[in-house]
Amino acid sequence: MAQKTDEKKKDGWEITGIKIGMDVGRFSNFLFKPEQTSYAGSLDVGFNNKYFIIAEAGYSEINLDRDNYNYISDGTFYKIGLDYNMLKKYPTDFLGAGFRFAYSTLEHSANNIRFESEHWGSYYTEKESETNQTMWLEASFGLKGEIFKNVYFGWSAIIKVRFYGGTDDKFQPYDIPGFGKAANSISIGANYFIYYQIPFNRK
């Protein structure tokens, strides 16, 4: 009896899948946000096909050129969290919910800032580089389905709630890597990932 109990405990924490992924939805920036270049990847480790420890990281760069200013930023973001799979019939696929803790840091600056004055005419100034740090929490609901052997497509809807940083009355970031517009304390979005599952102890 003791041996069976030990086996159950062991199975509950057995690694049953490791996936590495890339956020392919970010490639749409080339069409809809040409001023922004960003990349993101993920790693998830599954336990008993029910619980998944998730780690994500990404990079974002912005070069926004306008008539009266030029804005430049580059930064990174990191996320760590847990997903829960509600599926039982097809345990290698995923349908469930998760949460993340996220952190982002960026450097941003602005130059060629033009001001118009009735008395002095046009004059230019600049904003020196500053560092901005942001933290937020995420809740998500999504799915992952196997489209080819060991290759998965995943989609998730996400709500993000910022609780630290990201705002500055004098020099607010244009966009926070991994979060979105700095003017919003709550951000809603979606992710589109392609995953490869390492053929390791797959069940």
Residue 23 scores a pLDDT above 90: yes
Could you give the C-alpha distances from 39 to 28, 60, 124, in angstroms and in order? Answer: 11, 7, 33
Q: Domain limits of the chain? A: 16-198
Measured from the Cβ of residue 52, the count of other Cβ atoms closer than 10 Å reads 22
| Cα–Cα–Cα angle for 27, 32, 35, rounded to 5 degrees | 85
pTM: 0.85
Q: Please give the pLDDT value at position 113.
A: 78
Residue 133 scores a pLDDT above 90: yes
Place of tokens 């390791």: 200
Average pLDDT, the chain: 87
CATH of span 16-198: 2.40.160.70
Q: What is the 3-state secondary structure (H, E, C) of 89-117?
A: CCCCCEEEEEEEEEEEEEEEEEEEEEEEE
DSSP alpha helix (H) spans, the chain: 2-12, 29-32
Query: How far is Cα 195 from Cα 52, in angstroms, rounded to an integer?
Result: 14
Handedness of CA 12, 16, 20, 22 (dihedral sign): negative
Contact 20, 42 (CB under 8 A): yes
Beta strands in the chain (DSSP E): 15-23, 36-47, 51-65, 70-85, 94-117, 121-148, 151-165, 186-198
43 pLDDT band (50/70/90 cuts)? very high
Mean pLDDT of all residues in 23-41 = 86
* Highest mean pLDDT (candidates 27-31, 69-73, 81-85): 81-85
Q: Please give the pLDDT value at position 52.
A: 94
Q: Please give the pLDDT value at position 38.
A: 92
Mean pLDDT of all residues in 70-94 = 90
